[in-house]
Structure formats: C-alpha cells, structure tokens
Structure 1
C-alpha cells in the first residue's frame, strides 16, 4: 500500500495499485547513447527513450508505486530524470553508488524493498524492468521478482547466457509496459 505521511498522520492512498514497479534507468528510461558527462564522469545531460517519459508518468498517474533501481551515480540520475520531467514520479531511488553494490546483487533489490517499507514476502508483487539480462533480469529472478526485459538497445546482449537470465516477459518499447503492468496487476487483485 502506498502511504503518505503528513504531520505524523499516515494515510493510505486509496488509488495505489497492488503491483510495485522497479525501473532501471539507462536504456530503460534514458538513452545511454545521448549521455553527456562532465570531467567527474557525472551525466549532466541525456535524452529520454521515445515514450519512456510518458510511460513513467502514466504508471504513476494510474497509482503504481515506482522505484528506480539503477547502477550509477546519484547525481547523474538526478540530472537526467529532472531534465526529462520524471524525477518526482519515483517513490524511492536506489543507486549502486550509495548501496556500494551493483545489480544483480540482492542488496540493490533489498534496499528498494526496505525503502518502500515492504519485505521479501512482497517480491511476488514486484516487477523489475530493465535492459540488461545479466544485471536487471538475473537480479530480479534471484529475488523472486518478476523480470521484464526491455529489448530496446543493441548495446547489451539480447540472448541469455544461462537460465538465470531468462526474463519472465520481454517488451520492445517503454509504452508496451503500461498494458503489461495493468495485466499483471489485475492478476494480483
């Protein structure tokens, strides 16, 4: 359940959906090919993948809790997601820089679960969407989280190296995620 706390009063958002959506950033929301970095390797500018901004906004507006679970530097994500108007749609953001681990490490997923005040018993109602079979898909599969592979870029392998990298679902563009998430949420309710 999505909770909002104001002045020591907790209210449950009646529009919150049961399904929770974890999203990667690079080549899932942001086109890594457009990244411009400063001298400290922080991304200062990048473009969104066509439709990814609308996908994020639509899911949030429909009551889905969104968590960013991404490898990289916190300031890079703040810059890219703010510039593209989607930063404020995330309930929590988990970065490898602050967690001191990278996907597929369970620490990344457990940090997001904890930040949302969930437990590992909630993994059945979480989906992880990402572009990388060896990180996003493998990490989600190891945790019992539904894995969704965004087959959008040619920068990473599209064929699984072993059984642990086989996604539960594959989509080819960000907008396809909306109908899939709605279908998966209906199966939970």
Structure 2
C-alpha cells in the first residue's frame, strides 16, 4: 500500500491558535448591530493570505478569541476564512476570557489534544495581557502580532513577554515553518 505525500496535504506537527480581532480582523473596521454583534469587518492586510497559506500547507488552525460566536461567524464567513479553522473557541461559550486557561484548554480539547501537546502549539495574538500571558502560563509558544495601535506594546510583567514578536501577519508564515521544523 503506497501513499503519496505532498507538501499541501501533509499534516504538520505544529498547531496554530489565532486570536481574531486585530490579529486577523481589523477592529477599526468593525460594524456592530444593536446587540453588539459584529456584522461586518475587514481583514488586516495580508491576514487572509496568512490563514489560507498556513491551512494549505497542512497546519491545523484554531480561533481562540474573546467575544460573541455570531460576531466571528459573520466576519470570518464574509471574508472567506471560516472554513480554514479546525475549531473555534469563544469566550461567550467557554464563559471565560483570556488569559484564563479554560480558553486554551477548550481549544486543546476540541482538537483532541492533551496538555502534553502544549509544546507544539503556538498562540498568535495582539494582546499581551490576554493572548501572550495566557499562552505563556499554559506553556504554549506565544507570538505577539504588534500590528495594532489599539493595545499596549510593552509588557507590564514577565508573564506578558512574548516568545516571538511579528509586526505583519505575513511574517507568521515563515516563523511557523521554522518552528515546525524545530519540532523535528
């Protein structure tokens, strides 16, 4: 029995958790309805290409984001990105906000992983006190996307220091490839 391996369908070891607001979607473009649900928003330049490229290269992608499920469904569907994610974990359904470990554990569980897999997960986000601190506390590699002017770029304590910092979503592609190779 032979099976062919190609770079496109080969599953990668590294798992990528992504925040949504100001990581994929530009929060400055959000339009909300009367119930505070985001009904429309634009992607950060390059973020759509980043998501599609990582998915096409065989990476498992998950959304780990604070907010309402319907908001993310609306904006990720509108921007053609919804189907690229293996799972989506939202504070609304988990009843917790990052940096709570419950958010990260929910994503780990949804992907049928265990906490032993934390060493092969990266969390990419725009918020040092939520995304980076939460990932660091779980032993997940933290990647700070410093694209937005809306959030602090300086950590308040050691727990908020990211393992890596990128300023553009497209930089994530090469970084993820490098980190995946390091896993052997």
Indicate the TM-score class for this superposition, using the shorter chain for normalisation: over 0.9
Alignment of 1:1-189 (within 5 A): 15-189=10-184
Q: TM-score, length-normalised on structure 2?
A: 0.95
Q: TM-score, length-normalised on structure 1?
A: 0.93
> Once the 2 structures are TM-superposed, how far is the Cα of residue 14 of structure 1 from its aligned partner?
6.3
Two-structure CA RMSD over aligned residues (Å): 0.9
- 1:86-105 deviations in Å (ceiling 9; x for gaps): 10000000000000000000
Hey, which bits of structure 1, 4+ residues long, moved more than 6 A?
none
* Alignment gaps of 5+ in structure 1: 1-12
Equivalent pairs counted in the alignment come to 177
**Secondary structure in 1 matching 2:142:** strand
- 1:71-91 deviations in Å (ceiling 9; x for gaps): 000000000000111100000
* Alignment gaps of 5+ in structure 2: 1-7
Q: Answer yes or no: is the 8 Å Cα contact 2:9–2:57 preserved in 1.
A: no
**Secondary structure in 2 matching 1:50:** coil
**Secondary structure in 2 matching 1:127:** strand
